[in-house]
Structure 1
Amino acid sequence: MLTQRKRVVITGMGQLSSIASNVTEFKQALLNKTCGIRPSEKYHRWFNDANASEVLQPIELPNLSQEQIASLDNAALWAYKVGLEALEAAHLHEAEQRAKTALIIGVSSAGTEAFIPLFENQPDEFSLKKAIVCGCFSSCSAIVSSLLGLKGGFELLATACTASTNAMGIAFDLIQNNKNSTALVIGTEPIYLPTFAGFYALQAMKTTPTSPFSGTPGMSIGEGAGALLLEEYEHALARGATIYGEMVSYATSGDAYHDTAPDPRAEGAVQVMNDALANGQLVPEDIDYINAHGTGTEANDRCETVAMKKVFPQIASLPISSTKSYIGHNIGAAGIIEMIACFVTLPDRLILPTLNFGIPRINCDLNYVPNDFQQGQVGLFMKNNYAFGGNNCCIIATPHAGSVPETAYRPRRVAITGRGMVTSQGHDVRAVLDRIWQETSPQNLTELMLDDETCQLFDAMIANVRGQSEVEAFLFERYGDGDAWRKKLKGKTWQHQVTGLEPRKYLRRFDARKADDVSTFALLALTQSMKEAGRKIRRDGHRIGLILGMSRGPQRRVERYLNSLYPDPNNVRTSEFPGSLMNAISTFCSISEGIKGYNTTLATGINAGLGALTYGYELVRQGLQPETIVGGADELMNPFSVYLQSLHRNLLITDTPQAYQIYSDRFNGFLTGEGSGMLFLEDLERAAERGAPILAEIIGYGKANDTGYFNVENIAGNAMAMATAIRQALEEAQLSTDEVSLICGSSIGTTSSDRAEVDAVRQVFADRTATIPFVNYNAWFGAVEACMGILNLIVVTEIMQRGEIPPLPYTQSFCTDNIDFVTERRQQQVDTALILGSTEGGNHYAIVLRRCS
């Protein structure tokens, strides 16, 4: 039976760039053909002839106090500013409406600003309060959702230059699942020194304003933010919202070619445009205009032109332009700002020009709308963006909502047919699972010694706030005496480390020169999942998608890259720049295995892998991608990150392995871990036809968030949000609480996370909590942040296969006596299981699995 695909319209917009501070100003600046690219004011002291499109004007931030503004970075402040503008334009004022609104943010560089003074050797400018509040990559979504009162679940996209385009696509797909009628999408990208230095060192930047497809090649880097409120069409009509246009279709793909250079054959770019057309049941001749990526670099402009020629038979007459000629390349915010430019000009029958256009380059011989607006009626237009790593995104939209025929899809059942694990307990899924069933407690823990240099740096940071009464009061009210941290952390602690790994023993294709630990873990787990699923890629890599969830990403590469900025950012290590991006892990895996389907990296923090799972589920369920690999990976924190962890998240590292007791009545802390967990998802019907092992079926999920990010101990709010996610999951699965036979949490083991998870289960299941087995296996692996929920879920699939439930390790005395925590091995058939997970920012997931007999 076919399901009608929901129409998704745009009912609110917000914008910030070098040429305008709101949407109204932006439209006028576009009509005036204002170019915001000029000599950089921020970075001229380091880089000769450096041009940029910089936000230099004062910015109004309504409803925020000066204290709040001082504690937030520009990524969050700009996102808040444009998000608020979009919500107000959409007249989405009511708290109840906002509580059902999802938030998807795209960004490339986040969590950086607080530490820039350290890179620039200006420790007096360092703000410990800012480091605590927004010194984490994933903090932006939590901050903005809390400030704007959005509770419909959030995600942070980190696919570099396609991040905001990718975010729009995810929001579009998620609106199809009946959980959100509205989704606020934001792209935000301040120019930070690491990004500027990286592009400058790659010699990709032009000394004059960029002129895409013509003249001397080169890009101009830009900064800014944009926001769109996406809304289900009937919902928008019912509340009388103004409709600015309609998003008709979306697709993404991966080149699987190179970590920076585009595929010269443009196969990935061709594929993504064809997929977007197919998803919208359209043909190339339906497109009236293309807003190109158009960076201005030789390779991008040439390959993009080749791709468009291969897709569009009418290409000679099709208008194409690059908005980057106005505002430069806004990296993570590029796609959404460029989309807004289309929505404010196309309704007036004006097609945006490519400014600064000179002599066309060789093989760039299309209608790039040089220098002046063209008049023309545009029904459907295409917005393309491409990123490092070969991540390609394509959106098809129209300024005339309701003008395109509705489409439908056949919902698929989604099966798990493959699993992969790399943990401290073993290097492959079977070894890890066998150890859990054979051993009574985890093995292979290693000691972590915090060196004197790290402790001295931490002490200097603490000393930096002594005498700053406001910051000092905030710090010690929130965390207590700094001396207590040093006593707790200085000296030995324990960690779950992957040891003795020989990648070539397991991997047929492995480039050790480009591999780091986190990429190696991810690739190994990924190939295991494919092997168990019985899937080999034979020139059909486009049929497999890859959705990864990241928490800290390639930490060691980031550290090496940032260290190379000082003392002279002109000498930065260019080899480390692309590898330091969050989507570098996905790039490495895709190139290694030839995976060319949907490609997305979420960086939502702890349990981002569960966010990847929910999106991968939607791709298969909606028939957008027949097979998708989902999961996450992490490498161990460096010693300094251990200190920052204790600051930012109010968490403590335990000093003995046995003290890692989740749901204990005595909180003793947690242990860090590293590794990866991956799942192979596919259409259940197709899996059965090819004889794949059906390990479990995903039958529902839920997602909701709390808005109490600035309240560290907001247990009640987090419990309520998780309870909402659980109810959503059960509703989609069409299950009552009586039909759930196992609950698996993924609390990290702190008092607040334990209590929020337990209280949420009590709210939903009431008296049934005393009879439903409750487990959590994080103590086996340590806190492998991005994928702890995935690792737990893999154990649950094995429980379903074996009919036996292993106990929680270590914990003997629990925080409550009316929940059936499993403390001894139990023979019991599990037919349906509920898996829970939370991010540190208050985003909560619930997934329901069913055993397939």
Structure 2
Amino acid sequence: MRKRVVITGIGAVTPLANNVFAAWEKIKAGISGITRMTRIDVEQFNVKVAGEVKDFVPEQYVDGKEARRMGRFSQFAIAASKMAAEDAGVIVGKNIAPERVGVWIGSGIGGLGEFEEQHKRFMARGPKRVNPFTIPMFIPDMAAGRVSIELGAKGINNCSVTACASGANSIGDALRVIQNGEVDMMIAGGTEASITEMSVAGFSNMTALSTNPDPTTASRPFSKNRDGFVIAEGAGIVILEEMEHALARGAKIYGELAGYGATGDAYHITSPAPDGEGAQRAMGLALKDAGIIPEQVHYINAHGTSTQYNDLYETLAIKEVFGPHAYQLGVSSTKSMTGHTLGAAGAIEAIFSLLALKEGIMPPTINYDNPDEELDLDYVPNTARKANLNVVLSNSLGFGGHNASLVFKKYK
């Protein structure tokens, strides 16, 4: 029989709060963490707002000397991982053998900000002045590597780089490692520190970002007047654990990760496939993997970026997969409150999906005040809603045609 896998710990650093439970309270209240952008000179760009992590002190989670030798995205990952491990009551080497714990943490762009800073130094002062820690500061796998070192996890150590699906792919791939019996526990998720000059310039020049200067209304998934996503940063980490192992140590359980589906569009470098064909297959595979029929799903945490094609094609994909039941579902985008954290998004949204499942609350899509006639599902407009949730699904769709869906069930 295939091993069952449950989630026993969660941790996050987000634009809403540097604590997952404080962030969740704001999600339920429909409060946005998006503000005027301060990490770069906003006057250079026609984009003015971002979902920035605020008041983050890396020295609270890692030695100050080491913190200065790593990228911001790695700092976020260590913080979220330590929070998740503490929440799970896990001390590697004490109540679980180091070799039985793995790490799988994704990032879309890694330490791009650190690379930009060192390139400026190179151009201004020459190659001898480049920081010798530049390479480990920016390579995307280093978040997983650093977390492994900090927590002492000696099992498989990996990193998914699948753009905005990185966090979800990492969690799904970590599921398979436990199911294969390679380890008993995985520290898995995604991290991103994407608010940099080159990142904002690149996304802005491809007209992917919202130019709405009002931070309270810029992220408006599924609304007719949506005009692009709001760039954001953060990290989300979950502790995945083989069910019998979790029960044996008396761990609390948030829910069961029952299914995972991953597909490729083979269509376009940035645009999703027409009608969300790849997303359809990812959701279908995740449901099949979980042994779930569409009618058993009660809520979908959508990718919901607030871009024209994503919101349309994801809606069409949901309709195709769920048929008439699509109109009985709650479908919301928590990116309306966090912005788009790119490689961290799938992990942060997996955590919100788990808390929705555990508490029986569907998070809202805020700023939904101008319905689009092409988008006619129940997007849980503006106010969270109590509901009896037994199965929830979380979607993540990335540039390059990466699609990932995760199915969570109430633990029974």
- TM-score bracket relative to the smaller structure: over 0.9
Q: Quote the Cα distance in structure 1 between the aligned partners of 2:109 and 2:20.
A: 24
- Pairing partner for 1:151 from 144, 149, 154: 154
1:301 aligned partner, one-letter code: D
Counterpart contact for 1:98–1:149, Cα < 8 Å: no
- Pairing partner for 2:202 from 181, 198, 211: 198
Alignment pair present for 1:362 and 2:373? yes
State the identity %: 35
The Cα of 1:135 is off from its aligned counterpart by 4.1
Counterpart contact for 2:304–2:333, Cα < 8 Å: yes
The Cα of 1:230 is off from its aligned counterpart by 0.1
Counterpart contact for 2:50–2:230, Cα < 8 Å: yes
Deviation larger for 121-130 or 311-320: 121-130
**Deviations for 1:647-671, whole angstroms, at most 9, x for unmatched residues?**
xxxxxxxxxxxxxxxxxxxxxxxxx
Higher Cα Rg, which structure: 1
Q: Quote the Cα distance in structure 2 between the aligned partners of 1:63 and 1:261.
A: 38
CA 1:136–1:382: 2 relative to 1, 3 Å: closer
2:113 aligned partner, one-letter code: E
Match of 2:302 in 1: 292
Q: Quote the Cα distance in structure 1 between the aligned partners of 2:333 and 2:408.
A: 17
Match of 1:671 in 2: none
Q: Quote the Cα distance in structure 1 between the aligned partners of 2:34 and 2:205.
A: 19
Counterpart contact for 2:32–2:336, Cα < 8 Å: yes
Alignment pair present for 1:253 and 2:253? no
Q: Quote the Cα distance in structure 1 between the aligned partners of 2:58 and 2:66.
A: 13
2:225 aligned partner, one-letter code: T
Alignment pair present for 1:161 and 2:173? no
Match of 2:113 in 1: 113
Match of 1:83 in 2: 81
Counterpart contact for 1:105–1:188, Cα < 8 Å: yes
CA 1:114–1:123: 2 relative to 1, 3 Å: farther
- Pairing partner for 2:50 from 49, 52, 62: 52
**Deviations for 1:772-831, whole angstroms, at most 9, x for unmatched residues?**
xxxxxxxxxxxxxxxxxxxxxxxxxxxxxxxxxxxxxxxxxxxxxxxxxxxxxxxxxxxx
Q: Quote the Cα distance in structure 1 between the aligned partners of 2:278 and 2:405.
A: 11
CA 1:248–1:301: 2 relative to 1, 3 Å: same
Q: SS of the counterpart of 2:175?
A: helix
Match of 1:138 in 2: 141
Counterpart contact for 1:114–1:130, Cα < 8 Å: no
Counterpart contact for 2:220–2:306, Cα < 8 Å: yes
Deviation larger for 381-390 or 109-118: 109-118
Q: Quote the Cα distance in structure 1 between the aligned partners of 2:125 and 2:8.
A: 44
1:216 aligned partner, one-letter code: N
The Cα of 1:346 is off from its aligned counterpart by 3.2
Structure showing greater relative contact order (alpha-carbon pairs closer than 8 Å, 6 or more residues apart): 2
Match of 1:211 in 2: 220
> TM-score with structure 2 length normalisation?
0.92
Match of 2:215 in 1: none
Alignment pair present for 1:271 and 2:268? no
CA 1:21–1:81: 2 relative to 1, 3 Å: same
Match of 2:12 in 1: 15
1:197 aligned partner, one-letter code: A
Counterpart contact for 1:71–1:129, Cα < 8 Å: no
The Cα of 1:114 is off from its aligned counterpart by 3.0
- Pairing partner for 2:65 from 67, 71, 75: 67
1:130 aligned partner, one-letter code: F
Q: Quote the Cα distance in structure 2 between the aligned partners of 1:87 and 1:370.
A: 34
Alignment pair present for 1:41 and 2:38? yes
Q: SS of the counterpart of 2:203?
A: helix
The Cα of 1:391 is off from its aligned counterpart by 0.9
Match of 2:180 in 1: 177
The Cα of 1:319 is off from its aligned counterpart by 0.8
**Deviations for 1:672-711, whole angstroms, at most 9, x for unmatched residues?**
xxxxxxxxxxxxxxxxxxxxxxxxxxxxxxxxxxxxxxxx
Q: SS of the counterpart of 1:364?
A: coil
> TM-score with structure 1 length normalisation?
0.45
2:89 aligned partner, one-letter code: H
2:112 aligned partner, one-letter code: T
CA 1:135–1:332: 2 relative to 1, 3 Å: closer
Aligned residues: 398
The Cα of 1:277 is off from its aligned counterpart by 1.2
Q: Quote the Cα distance in structure 2 between the aligned partners of 1:71 and 1:123.
A: 21
Point out 4+ residue stretches in structure 1 off by more than 6 angstroms. Answer: none
The Cα of 1:98 is off from its aligned counterpart by 5.3
Q: Quote the Cα distance in structure 2 between the aligned partners of 1:362 and 1:127.
A: 53
The Cα of 1:139 is off from its aligned counterpart by 2.6
Match of 1:792 in 2: none
Counterpart contact for 1:111–1:138, Cα < 8 Å: no
In structure 2, runs of 5+ residues without a counterpart are: 213-217
Q: Quote the Cα distance in structure 1 between the aligned partners of 2:274 and 2:108.
A: 24
CA 1:384–1:95: 2 relative to 1, 3 Å: same
The Cα of 1:68 is off from its aligned counterpart by 1.2
1:378 aligned partner, one-letter code: L
CA 1:65–1:265: 2 relative to 1, 3 Å: closer
RMSD: 1.8
CA 1:179–1:256: 2 relative to 1, 3 Å: same
